[in-house]
């Protein structure tokens, strides 16, 4: 179904003064100081913010191209959900993943569960909160190391915490919660 535009119309675009913007349906048109116009898109798709500059009027970009970009992005997201082995795509946040990890580890007879629980509950969960497990990056882990060092944690303590998150990643892949390890973990020396 085609969207009805009342703000970003040809007439309104022509009348728009320098430095002003029109926003509608996730599309923004901005009249630049040099008189050119720029189209950008800012939408949420599957819980992820997508913000892109589509292009300028002088490059031949129109509102239709911004609409096409949005539709293509949403179509790609639907295809991604349809390609999953089972059910609907669900995002597993760190806290929930850690809780499930500890429960499964207890059932499997895992080792050092109490220490892992302590590291997760006191340090890892408060830092990573509900960030999707598959979205944790090496940069996030570097931020975590810096944060813990500022709290005067020893290198050994931080390395044991990193080992716990590394094990969460490995088990999450094994249990098919995620497709691959999301980040490389570099331990402290």
- Residue 137 near residue 182, CB atoms below 8 Å: yes
Looking at the fold, whether 18 and 72 belong to one and the same domain comes out as yes
- Residue 76 near residue 89, CB atoms below 8 Å: no
Is 183 contained in some domain?
no
Looking at the fold, whether 106 and 57 belong to one and the same domain comes out as no
Looking at the fold, whether 146 and 166 belong to one and the same domain comes out as yes
Comparing 72-86, 154-168, 170-184, the range with the smallest average pLDDT is 72-86
Domain count, the chain: 2
Comparing 3-7, 71-75, 87-91, 173-177, the range with the smallest average pLDDT is 87-91
User: How many whole angstroms separate alpha carbon 165 and alpha carbon 25?
Assistant: 40
What tens digit of pLDDT does each residue of 68-105 get? 999 998 888 887 665 444 445 568 899 999 999 999 99
Looking at the fold, whether 99 and 75 belong to one and the same domain comes out as no
Q: What does the pLDDT read at residue 2?
A: 67
pLDDT for 127 beyond 90: yes
Is 182 contained in some domain?
no
Domain-ending residue, one of 53, 82, 111: 82
Is 180 contained in some domain?
no
Looking at the fold, whether 118 and 68 belong to one and the same domain comes out as no
* Dihedral sign of CA atoms 83, 84, 87, 91 in order: negative
Residue-range definition of the domain harbouring residue 21: 10-82
Per-residue pLDDT band for 189 (boundaries 50, 70, 90) equals confident
Looking at the fold, whether 170 and 130 belong to one and the same domain comes out as yes
């Amino acid at each position: 179904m085609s969207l009805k535009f009342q703000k970003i119309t040809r007439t309104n675009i022509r009348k728009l003064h320098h430095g002003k913007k029109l926003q509608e349906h996730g599309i923004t048109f901005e009249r630049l100081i040099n008189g050119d116009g720029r189209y950008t898109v800012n939408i949420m798709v599957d819980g992820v913010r997508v913000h892109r500059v589509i292009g300028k009027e002088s490059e031949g970009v129109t509102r239709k191209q911004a609409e096409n970009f949005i539709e293509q992005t949403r179509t790609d997201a639907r295809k991604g959900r349809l390609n999953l082995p089972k059910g609907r795509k669900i995002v597993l946040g760190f806290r929930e993943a850690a809780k499930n990890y500890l429960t499964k580890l207890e059932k499997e007879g895992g080792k050092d569960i109490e220490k892992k629980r302590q590291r997760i509950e006191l340090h890892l969960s408060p830092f990573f909160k509900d960030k999707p497990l598959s979205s944790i990056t090496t940069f996030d882990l570097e931020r975590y190391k810096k944060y813990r060092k500022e709290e005067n944690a020893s290198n050994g303590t931080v390395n044991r915490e990193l080992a716990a998150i590394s094990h969460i990643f490995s088990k999450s892949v094994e249990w098919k919660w995620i497709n691959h390890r999301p980040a490389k973990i570099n331990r402290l020396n």
